[in-house]
């Protein structure tokens, strides 16, 4: 019952705090007092998107949970498949 409201609140909070933590701490902004969180976040996002685009999008298939869901409905013990 509370899953969707809690999920929505958590997502809004993470977005809000991520934006707030990237604001500068003082004005005027100089190279010595700049908050470099935005630069680090941008570098990480660029690296992750480049890595995914160059290789992972062709090989990543996502989590395999269908067999777990089907076995939970039937009451059977799920069988974990090794790759």
Q: Which of 79, 59, 56 minimizes the C-alpha distance to 69?
A: 79
Flag whether 79 is in a domain.
yes
Tokens linked to 82 = 């090794």
Number of domains composing the chain: 1
Q: How far apart are CA 20 and CA 15, in angstroms?
A: 9
Flag whether 64 is in a domain.
yes
Flag whether 4 is in a domain.
no
- For residue 83, give its domain range: 46-83
Show pLDDT as tens, one digit a residue, over the chain (83 residues).
Answer: 889 999 999 999 999 998 888 888 788 878 788 888 888 888 999 999 998 888 877 777 767 776 777 776 665 555 566 55
The pTM assigned to this predicted structure is 0.49
Flag whether 74 is in a domain.
yes
Calculate the CA 39 to chain-centre distance: 18
């Amino acid at each position: 019952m509370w899953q969707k409201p809690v999920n929505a609140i958590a997502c809004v909070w993470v977005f809000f705090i991520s934006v707030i933590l990237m604001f500068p701490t003082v004005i005027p902004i100089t190279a010595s007092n700049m908050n470099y969180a935005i630069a680090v976040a941008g570098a990480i996002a660029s690296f992750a998107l480049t890595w995914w685009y160059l290789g992972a999008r062709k090989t990543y298939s996502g989590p395999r949970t269908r067999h777990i869901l089907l076995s939970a409905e039937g009451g059977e013990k799920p069988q974990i498949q090794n790759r």
